[in-house]
């Protein structure tokens, strides 16, 4: 990927180490993995954005299942994703509250701000 004068893309191995960064973007990453590996991934990203005493930003884009306002079709699609993640990757889709409890709250002390929408 090509960056800009104020944005650089840096690669890393999410299971071993991520270079220091001001922000990280995780799009459809956590649902590929079980909770143990998801936490390992998050801890490595946390180290990258909190190194040298700073507090970085994390942008996590993922599917939240079991939302009350979802229509039938979107619920079916989310459940299809759930089956794919489970059967192919031993991963799982999670409810928004589960994501908030299990992941976000563990990170609050390392982040400048967050939103779970």
Catalytic annotation present for 31: yes
Asked whether 46 and 14 are in contact (CB, 8 A), the reply is no
- Spatial distance between the Cα atoms of 111 and 117, rounded to a whole number of angstroms: 17
Cα distance between residue 98 and residue 79, in whole Å: 16
Q: Which is catalytic among the residues 29, 30, 31, 99?
A: 31
CA 100 to chain centre: 11
Residues assigned a catalytic role: 31
């Amino acid at each position: 990927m090509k960056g800009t004068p104020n944005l650089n893309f840096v690669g890393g191995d999410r299971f071993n180490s991520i270079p220091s960064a001001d922000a990280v973007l995780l799009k459809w990453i956590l649902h590929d993995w079980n909770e143990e590996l998801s936490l390992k991934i998050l801890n490595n990203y946390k180290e990258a954005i909190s190194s040298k005493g700073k507090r970085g930003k994390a942008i996590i884009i993922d599917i939240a299942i079991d939302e009350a306002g979802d229509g039938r079709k979107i619920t079916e699609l989310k459940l299809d994703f759930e089956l794919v993640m489970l059967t192919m990757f031993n991963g799982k889709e999670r409810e928004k509250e589960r994501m908030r409890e299990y992941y976000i709250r563990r990170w609050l002390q390392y982040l400048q701000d967050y939103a779970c929408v």
